[in-house]
């Protein structure tokens, strides 16, 4: 009886080995349940598994994210402390990463411009962050006074506003058909008409959405207008804000403390966008929800769509008579299955605009793109 059991087990093992070595359909189905980093390791086993892994990777075109909040016991920011572990679990190959963290805990207790050198915490090494992601992945890391995030795990999780305390997120964008995401970074030394063209910001008929973030903006003077002037004439949606600093990519062209701008240019036929401006007179939950509901007119699909909220540090809880999370809650009421991310910054960039298919609704001049004490609420669809 024992010998028969051993024989049966051996027979079953040999059948399983045959299937896993020869039947691509079965192998491919199994690999869909394997996180991407493990999938890349598995691809080196044999030619069949490598080909199956490649086909699976091509199907992974839905973005994902990692977010963190609350005090971290480690010597680095809460987001950085979990990022390595969480990246092992994702089901996509990141091509571009947009990360934002609160500046106060990232840089330490001495976050003001004069005392950045006196960090009470270790800021993560850019190279260490780069090693978490595939070679060639573009990583944009931003610090800002406040954070808006959706907790990891589900698109329908309630988004949260963090004007104080430790919080951050990293959105991972895979390579997607019909979508081209190009990061850009300019300082006063590197900006030029040629550089803008190379970044896809001018003379690009497929440009649909530009997310841009100005750092050390109080020093920048007319610098920002050099970017906004050509963008205002385009048919792209422009949205972003004035942030504290940038920790990735490394700044080789300018010195520490110099001003500049980073961002993402999103092009391609599958990219759609819409934004609304919540102006200074929007100061209660009812009017905030009514303004956000105007985004529904764009009829943007929910799948593979992100919400972005770029708000002034002067808004939030104090602006709404000590009511917390007003704008994030209003967004969730209107778009319950769309994750929301963003920042509280020192100025907002954007306007009312819809970019869909081959048309743009509502143009704006450069003066209509820069604001204070407002919120720019944005939807970006990636096919």
Q: What is the pLDDT of residues 330-380, one digit of tens each?
A: 999 999 999 999 999 999 999 988 887 665 666 566 668 899 999 999 999
Nearest to 195 by CA among 255, 261, 268, 137: 261
pLDDT at 5 over 60: no
pTM score of the predicted model = 0.86
pLDDT > 70 fraction of the chain, expressed in percent and rounded: 86
Q: What is the pLDDT of residues 260-281, one digit of tens each?
A: 999 999 999 999 999 999 999 9
pLDDT > 90 fraction of the chain, expressed in percent and rounded: 49
Report d(CA 165, CA 69) in Å as an integer.
Answer: 8
Q: How far is CA 258 from the centre of its chain?
A: 24
DSSP 3-state assignment of 355? strand
DSSP 3-state assignment of 166? coil
For range 64-83, the mean pLDDT = 84
Report d(CA 170, CA 101) in Å as an integer.
Answer: 9
Q: What is the pLDDT of residues 114-130, one digit of tens each?
A: 344 444 344 445 677 78
């Amino acid at each position: 009886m024992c010998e028969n059991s051993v024989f049966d087990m051996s027979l079953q093992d040999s059948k399983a080995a045959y299937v896993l070595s020869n039947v691509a359909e079965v192998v491919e189905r199994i690999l869909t349940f394997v996180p991407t980093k493990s999938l890349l390791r598995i691809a080196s086993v044999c030619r069949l598994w490598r080909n199956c892994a490649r086909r699976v990777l091509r199907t992974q075109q839905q973005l994902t994210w990692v977010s963190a909040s609350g005090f971290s016991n480690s010597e680095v920011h809460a987001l950085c402390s979990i990022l390595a572990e969480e990246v092992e679990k994702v089901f996509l190959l990141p091509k571009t990463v947009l990360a934002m963290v609160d500046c106060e805990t990232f840089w330490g207790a001495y976050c003001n411009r004069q005392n950045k050198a006196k960090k009470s915490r270790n800021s993560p090494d850019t190279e260490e962050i780069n090693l978490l992601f595939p070679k060639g992945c573009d990583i944009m890391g931003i610090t800002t006074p406040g954070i808006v995030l959706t907790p990891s795990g589900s698109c329908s999780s309630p988004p949260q506003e963090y004007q104080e305390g430790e919080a951050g997120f990293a959105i991972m964008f895979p390579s997607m058909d019909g979508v081209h995401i190009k990061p850009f970074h300019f300082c006063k030394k590197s900006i030029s008409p040629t550089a803008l063209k190379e970044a896809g910001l001018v003379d690009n008929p497929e440009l649909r959405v530009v997310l841009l973030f100005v750092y050390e903006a109080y020093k920048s003077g007319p610098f920002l207008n050099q970017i906004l002037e050509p963008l205002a004439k385009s048919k792209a949606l422009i949205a972003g804000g004035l942030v504290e600093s940038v920790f990735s990519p490394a700044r080789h062209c300018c010195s520490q403390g110099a001003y500049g701008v980073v961002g993402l240019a999103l092009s391609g036929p599958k990219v759609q966008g819409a934004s609304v401006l919540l102006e200074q007179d929007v100061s209660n939950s009812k009017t905030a929800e009514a303004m956000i509901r105007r985004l529904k007119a764009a009829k943007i699909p929910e799948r593979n769509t992100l919400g972005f909220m770029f708000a002034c540090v002067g808004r939030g809880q104090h602006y709404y008579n000590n009511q917390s999370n007003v704008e994030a809650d209003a967004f969730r009421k209107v778009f319950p299955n769309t994750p929301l991310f963003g920042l509280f910054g020192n100025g907002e960039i954007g306007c009312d605009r819809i970019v869909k298919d081959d048309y743009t609704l509502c143009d704006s001049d450069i003066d209509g793109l820069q604001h204070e004490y407002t919120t720019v609420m944005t939807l970006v669809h990636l096919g």
